[in-house]
Amino acid sequence: MCGIVAYVGPRDAQPILLDALGRLEYRGYDSAGLAILNGKGVEVRKKSGRIEELAKACRAKPVEGKSGISHTRWATHGAPTDTNAHPHLDASGKLALVHNGVIENYLELKQHLTKAGHKFSSDTDTEILAHLVGESFEHSKEKGEKCLIDAVRKALQKVQGTLGIAVLHADLPGLVVGARRGSPLVIGVGNGENFLASDTQALAPYTDRVVILQDQEIVALYADHFDVASPLGQKAVHVEKIENGVASSDKGSHPHFMLKEIFEQPETVRNAFRGRLDLEESSTKLGGLNLSLDQLREYERIFVIGCGTALHAGMVGKYLIETLAKIPVDTQHASEFRYSDSPVHPKTLFFAVSQSGETADTLGALREAKRRGFRCLGICNNVSSTIARESDGGVYMHAGPEIGVAATKSFTSQVVIFTLLAILLGRLHSLSAADSRRLIEALQQLPDHLHALLKRSDEVRKIAAKFASARSMLFLGRLANFPIALEGALKMKEVTYVHAEGYPAAELKHGVIALVDKDTPTVLVATHDGVYDKNLSNLQEVKARGGPILAVAHEGDQKIGGLADAVFSVPKTHELIQPILNVIPLQLFSYHTAVALNRDVDKPRNLAKSVTVE
C-alpha cells in the first residue's frame, strides 16, 4: 500500500517522478505529492485524488530541480486531503519525508514533540516522523550528509511499526536517504542517476538493474553512487536484473488492466506449468522447493497461509492435494495464524501464498511459522520479494506484473501451481501413472480451453447488463468449486461494490436461504461432477423461492439450461482442473458488471494492490 519514488541525477526530477508514480498508482490513489530541491529550498506539490490531479498542479506551476521524492497514498491515518498527502515537512521546513507503513506509537511520539514546541498541520502519523527526523538532524553538531543519515537512524529507533521512507533536506542537495523496516523499498541503478521505489514496476522505463533493500537497512542515494548500511555497518550489495518491461504497464487494446489480465490467462497458465511437467515419470518437477523427493515424502501435513484471493487458491489446493496425495491440508487466513496459538503437527510443511510477495499478514505468518521451527515455502509472482527471499524455497508464478487491483491471472496461476504440487505429492504416495497422465494432459489442453472460453466475453457482458442493478448476490459451490464461489463473490465486491457472499452450496438451507428473493441473484457453480445432482437440488430450492439463478455449467447442459435464468457455459475438462475454467466467467461477470455500473475497475475505492500494512 502506498508508493514511493525518489530520483537523484542530472535530469529534471518532476517528469520522472510523475511518470514513475503513475506506474505505482495501483498501490494507492487517495492522494499524491512530491518534493523537489529547487536550489533555494524544498518545493512541495500535493493534491488529494488521483495522480493526474497532482500532474495538473505541476503543469500549472512546474517545479524545477534534479533531485526529489514523491508518494502516492492509500490512507491509514487521516482522511485523503491535500494537507494529509505526502510529502510532509519537519519544523524547519527544510526536510521533506514520504512514508509507507504505519507508526504504531505515533500518539506517544506526537505528545513528546508537542511538549517540545512542535506544531502539526496534518492528521497523519507520517508528519510526526518528519518532525522526529528533523529534530534529530537539528540537534546534530554538524549538518553534513552523515548527520542526516544518523538522524534517520536515531529517529527510527524511537518508532514502532512498519515503514519504508525517503528523506531529503534543502541543505544537502544531491542526497536522498531511504530506509526500510517491513515495507518494500528498492534502489534503481542507472547511469549517472539513481532511483528509489516501492516497487520495481515504477523503474521499468529507466533501468533494469536494482538492489533490494533488506529490513533495517538505510541507503544514502547520490547520482553517481549509493551506500547501504545495515545495523552491522556498511555492506556490499548485489545488483539484480529485473524482468519488468514498459509493455507490462500498458493496457494495449483493452480498456482496463483487469480485462487485459483476464485475457492473458491462456499464456500465464501455460507459463505456470511450462518446463514443470515430467512426462516420462507422469509427474511434475518443482526444483525450487529445495527438497528431495525423500524429504517431501516425510511430511504428513500441509498448511497453507494467505489472504483474500491467494487464500482461495490455497483452498482449491487443499482439495487437490487431499484428493491426489491423501495428505491432510489446513488453510488459514494469514492474519489469524500469526496471532493464534493453534497446535500444528510437527511434520507439517507450510506454504505462504502471495502475488506480490510483500503481503504484510502473510509475511508475518511465514515468520511466525519459521519461528516455531517449520519449513516454509513461498508461492509468489515476484522472485525478488521479501516472502521469496525469506522462504526456504518455493515456486515462482511467471505471471508477469499484475496491475489491476482485483487479482485475476495470479489466482489461476496459483491454482495451477497447487495442481502441480498435488500431482507431485500424489505420485510420491498412491497416485497412479495413468491417473496422473490424464491430469497432465488436461493441464496441457487448458490454455486452448481458456482461449475458447474468453471468446464468450460478450455473452457474459449481456448477462451482466441484465443483472447489474442487483444490490446483493449469492455465490454457491461445492468441493473445489466452493473456493471458486468465494473468489467470484470477492471479485464482485471488489470492483462493483455490490454486496456479494460466497457459501458452500449445502449451507443454503442453514440460514443463507433467508436472503433469497426476486431481487437477489444466486450464482451457482454447477459443472458436471460427483455432486451435480445435489447442485440441481440447490438450484430448485432457490427457484422455488423466486430467486434468479445464474449458473456456471458445461456447454450443452440442457438440465441447467432449462432451469437457470442465465448460463455461463464453460468447456468440459478433467474434474480437478475444471475449477480453473469455472472462475473465468465469474471474473468476466464482475468486470462487465463494474463497467455497466461505471465503476473505476482498475482502482476500486478503498483498495490497494499490495497490502503491506496490517
Q: Using the 3D structure, point to which of 203, 225, 248 is the last residue of a domain.
A: 248
- List, for residues 149-158, the tens digit of each pLDDT value: 999 999 999 9
Check pLDDT > 70 for residue 248. Answer: no
The pLDDT assigned to 180 comes to: 94
376 is catalytic: no
Structurally, how many domains does the chain consist of? 3
Q: What is the mean pLDDT of residues 391-395?
A: 96
The pLDDT assigned to 610 comes to: 64
* Percentage, residues of the chain above pLDDT 90: 78
Looking at residue 517, the DSSP 8-state letter turns out to be: S
- List, for residues 561-589, the tens digit of each pLDDT value: 999 999 999 999 999 999 999 999 999 99
Output the domain CATH number for residue 406. Answer: 3.40.50.10490
Instruction: Report the DSSP beta bridge partners of residue 221.
Output: 176, 226
Q: Are residues 398 and 330 in the same domain?
A: yes
Residue 278 confidence class, pLDDT cut points 50, 70, 90: very high
| CA-wise closest residue to 135 among 169, 177, 184 | 169
Q: Are residues 171 and 318 in the same domain?
A: no
- The span from the first CA to the last CA of the chain, in angstroms, equals 10
- List, for residues 174-187, the tens digit of each pLDDT value: 999 999 998 889 99
| CA-wise closest residue to 65 among 148, 173, 195 | 173
Q: Are residues 422 and 519 in the same domain?
A: no
Looking at residue 186, the DSSP 8-state letter turns out to be: E
Q: What is the mean pLDDT of residues 2-17?
A: 94
Q: Are residues 51 and 183 in the same domain?
A: yes
Name the residue type at position 480. Answer: A
2 is catalytic: yes
Cell numbers for 536: 440441481
pTM for this structure?
0.87
Cell numbers for 411: 489466482
Q: Are residues 583 and 566 in the same domain?
A: yes
How far, in Å, CA of 313 to CA of 340, rounded? 22
Q: Using the 3D structure, point to which of 453, 476, 505 is the last residue of a domain.
A: 453
Average pLDDT, the chain: 92
Output the domain CATH number for residue 42. Answer: 3.60.20.10
- Per the model's pLDDT, the better-predicted residue between 69 and 123 turns out to be 69
Q: What is the mean pLDDT of residues 471-495?
A: 97
The pLDDT assigned to 1 comes to: 65
Q: Are residues 432 and 543 in the same domain?
A: no
Which of the following is catalytic: 2, 58, 147, 380? 2
Lowest mean pLDDT: which of 72-81, 292-301, 420-429? Answer: 72-81
Residue 249 confidence class, pLDDT cut points 50, 70, 90: low
Q: Are residues 229 and 284 in the same domain?
A: no
The pLDDT assigned to 246 comes to: 47
Q: Are residues 463 and 586 in the same domain?
A: yes
Check pLDDT > 70 for residue 237. Answer: yes
How far, in Å, CA of 83 to CA of 58, rounded? 16
Helices (DSSP H) in 61-124: which residue ranges? 106-115
- Per the model's pLDDT, the better-predicted residue between 80 and 569 turns out to be 569
Q: CB of 66 within 8 A of CB of 10?
A: yes
Q: Using the 3D structure, point to which of 453, 480, 502 is the last residue of a domain.
A: 453
Check pLDDT > 60 for residue 62. Answer: yes
**Angle separating helix axes 578-596 and 433-454, nearest 10 degrees:** 20
Q: Are residues 470 and 403 in the same domain?
A: no
Q: Are residues 464 and 424 in the same domain?
A: no
Residue 609 confidence class, pLDDT cut points 50, 70, 90: low
The pLDDT assigned to 29 comes to: 79
Q: Are residues 239 and 288 in the same domain?
A: no
Range of the domain at 204: 3-248
Check pLDDT > 70 for residue 122. Answer: yes
Q: What is the mean pLDDT of residues 365-382?
A: 95
Q: Are residues 391 and 519 in the same domain?
A: no
Cell numbers for 209: 538493474
Residue 449 confidence class, pLDDT cut points 50, 70, 90: very high
Q: How far is CA 192 from CA 17, 18, 223, 256, in A?
A: 17, 20, 5, 36
Check pLDDT > 90 for residue 444. Answer: yes
Check pLDDT > 60 for residue 613. Answer: no
How far, in Å, CA of 162 to CA of 173, rounded? 27
Check pLDDT > 50 for residue 247. Answer: no
Which of the following is catalytic: 46, 47, 66, 609? 609
Check pLDDT > 80 for residue 236. Answer: no
Instruction: Report the DSSP beta bridge partners of residue 246.
Output: none
The pLDDT assigned to 230 comes to: 83
Lowest mean pLDDT: which of 113-127, 137-151, 346-360, 479-493? Answer: 137-151
